[in-house]
Structure 1
């Protein structure tokens, strides 16, 4: 713990220096609870003759953005308005400002406080925040590590969620009209049905989809019947239901887009499909190509017979089969000209435009459809697409690694929350997939980012080939040899780095093999 070196007067101080405390907790770190943070901050204040006059608390708030962090916004507002009755802010550590993907954002909050005459002191760090070059360097490294922790954790959480989808469990989001969410305990026993807005209370419980009220089920089947057997368009089906008073919920009316979503959503045929869209680390949500979807067919009872569901899909697809690619893209250009932007929901509500699923089917993804008409959203999605491919590959690499270790007789468990491998109850290993970056010169580069926040004993870095479709080679680093939070690799590297490189994962089997020791003489 750092401490203050204030000038000591011969006479005892007449009063303590007034300070405020800022604490934040997200659901990812129980050991960093607000109570634990405050215990450390209070001990620090006592040791350094500081009087805590106010505590600002953001409990259960993500550190990825400022949105929703009311306490931090109040703290900054009080300081910058000069209404604060303190001159120091005590923070547990650097990461409590946030795990922003741009480390400069975290730094900016400290700068704003200093510019208003309020100092920042970190109570659990091993350095003094005294403005020296060394403290500036350490803080920047810790900010970058905090951001990287979120990125790596995101990949591992995705792998865990993908596994649960394959087992037939629902991953977030409302059930949808005609369906309900039901809890399942860790032994597979059915529990209560969740009402709208209710969440599970036990971490070990899972959620499955079950049929909703019979009245809603009848309307879902009626939507399919009118569309398939009577040949009615989505907007016409919506109008009929609204005129009958069969509304989706009090105060809401059926729309073309709502009917279309029921007709194309595979959950009504009993299939569990996930990752159609994604928005990692507070980024804008994007539509993913079908190759990246995670699915489990026949995961729960279907509301619509397979024959009727498939017939609806054929009708929807046939509506645009006779249209050329140019005609479909012209419709998209017209919508863009009228609205000024594009989204899947906007496309589905437009009568004269093919549905968003049509663009995904014809061109591979909505993003590629946008690029074909010269529409570029306000960011570069190349990095996201590469990461999507890595997330898709991660479960395969994890499974093959476990199999190789088990082949030599070792036991392997996977920590569900972190996806770390727990080998023979002795070694914890992290698998990191490294995206291949091609420079303008044609040279290839990879970045290995270590899981510093999870403290694994081994880090297995998988260097991917260009395109992120297959592994190139592997680097296996023991924790004691991880001398930096990240390493940048070229196609050929220094000898001290090449010592850790292997063409296959056989070395991992060797490292984890149990060897019988001869008895003492």
Structure 2
């Protein structure tokens, strides 16, 4: 036998099986997962590790565990004892996470170490060997990783506030009767942005501008009906629907959508920001008016200021005339007639004050529910969740169209939301709500559209809580079209999970155009 062969076999036998974890956050593009994997591979070659498993979170923030399916799967595998490796390789401390509580980062590493799996930070200048110096440096690095996110959040917020006071729009759809106007750094118009489109140059800015004249007239008519004719929001919604009009999302008008138009200052040209906060992935909060950042007269208004002020006086007087006892009595009556309560039920109830009134008067809707003896059942949470997912659907469609264009493809979207891609095949997008079973399991129910019959259905599975996307299923009609309803678990076997993807790159590859050399 060749002695060199014996030496090679001996060397291979000493290789330690390892898993690598890589993460790329949206604000840290230079830390691509490929660059991390390359550095980890070099570290593994030097130290005698064989990488047998990869856990990846691409485009995921490190602030929280939520939404990081890769790290969640790694920790779950470690806890279950089903790992086939003896070490975990990570690029650096910040890739493990930028947790605001450094103890959380240490907790997940402790779980791995308790299972006999050492975590190696391949790009750090210290050995993660449990020594005093390594422990001190690692703790400092964890604190610095969290502090970086806090500082970045503060800087971004300050920059956004400055742009607001200069009159520029910061995110969100324009709304009915308005459009987003793209302007260059000198303020010269460059064109209108369609829904889902984003500016391509960092120096460009977005302002609001009046939309089509017919939409502007509908908004003004809505104010006249409310102020001059004293029509309620529900009556106005019924009139608009009877006239065949739809909202900017193509949906029928409701009491809530009419109320939103009546109370939003953008219709008189004011730019307002920070009404709600969701900083550092913490709990979403509604801020008091003294915390709002505003620029009055930032845009060309489409409603006369006097009309807007009159509408606010009517709305305030309508809610002010109710005492706390009367507000709770109306809420009790609504509970008795409907059997349950939700924000949607309240906002759509005839002669009911809006949810904002209850939040302002009692601090939160939950507190108001408690005062009338109602404990929200998880069985009814789907109403609010479905409302949020319906609002999310157009943004998902727009994001997919944008991704197709970036890949060199083309997509047209019809009035039903069906995508016609490169004039070659069709795709439909559905969003699957995550359900938790009484036993703590997760389930998703997919309803394939039998009317549209798309060639491909993109099923977007949501994470628990239904605020973040978990993964995607690309389901061909020829395979699953005959079954209009599918129930999915976290793992569904090879036949179905063959169509599961962490992102839509595989779908974009289907639409990517490739130049062929002439024969």
Residue by residue, what CA displacement relative to the aligned partner does 1:476-501 show, whole Å, maximum 9, x if unpaired? Answer: xxxxxxxxxxxxxxxxxxxxxxxxxx
In the TM superposition, what is the alpha-carbon distance from 1:245 to its structure 2 partner?
2.2
Do 1:242 and 1:253's aligned partners in 2 also have CA atoms closer than 8 Å?
yes
Aligned-residue RMSD, C-alpha: 3.5
Do 2:176 and 2:248's aligned partners in 1 also have CA atoms closer than 8 Å?
no
Do 1:181 and 1:208's aligned partners in 2 also have CA atoms closer than 8 Å?
yes
User: Aligned partners of 1:24 and 1:11: how far apart in 2?
Assistant: 34
| 19 and 204 in structure 1: CA distance in 2 versus 1, 3 angstrom threshold | farther
Spell out the pairing of 1:230-379 with structure 2 (5 A cutoff): 230-248=229-247, 252-324=251-323, 327-328=326-327, 348-356=347-355, 358=357, 366=363
User: Aligned partners of 1:217 and 1:152: how far apart in 2?
Assistant: 42
User: Aligned partners of 2:11 and 2:91: how far apart in 1?
Assistant: 26
> Which residue does 1:93 correspond to in 2?
92
User: Aligned partners of 2:225 and 2:260: how far apart in 1?
Assistant: 15
In the TM superposition, what is the alpha-carbon distance from 1:287 to its structure 2 partner?
1.3
User: Aligned partners of 1:339 and 1:277: how far apart in 2?
Assistant: 30
Residues 1:181 and 2:199 aligned together: no
Spell out the pairing of 1:48-59 with structure 2 (5 A cutoff): 48-59=47-58
Spell out the pairing of 1:111-510 with structure 2 (5 A cutoff): 111-248=110-247, 252-324=251-323, 327-328=326-327, 348-356=347-355, 358=357, 366=363
| SS class of match (1:32) | coil
| SS class of match (1:63) | coil
Higher RCO, 1 or 2 (CA under 8 Å, sep at least 6)? 1
> Which residue does 2:423 correspond to in 1?
none
> Which residue does 1:409 correspond to in 2?
none
In the TM superposition, what is the alpha-carbon distance from 1:149 to its structure 2 partner?
2.5
User: Aligned partners of 1:192 and 1:18: how far apart in 2?
Assistant: 55
Q: TM-score, normalised by structure 1?
A: 0.62
User: Aligned partners of 2:8 and 2:283: how far apart in 1?
Assistant: 59
| SS class of match (2:253) | coil
In the TM superposition, what is the alpha-carbon distance from 1:119 to its structure 2 partner?
2.4
Q: TM-score, normalised by structure 2?
A: 0.62
| SS class of match (1:121) | strand
Do 2:87 and 2:118's aligned partners in 1 also have CA atoms closer than 8 Å?
yes
> Which residue does 1:431 correspond to in 2?
none
| SS class of match (2:200) | coil
Residue by residue, what CA displacement relative to the aligned partner does 1:283-326 show, whole Å, maximum 9, x if unpaired? Answer: 22211111111111111121212222222112112223433455
| 92 and 169 in structure 1: CA distance in 2 versus 1, 3 angstrom threshold | same
Residues 1:60 and 2:59 aligned together: yes
| 340 and 63 in structure 1: CA distance in 2 versus 1, 3 angstrom threshold | farther
> Which residue does 2:391 correspond to in 1?
none
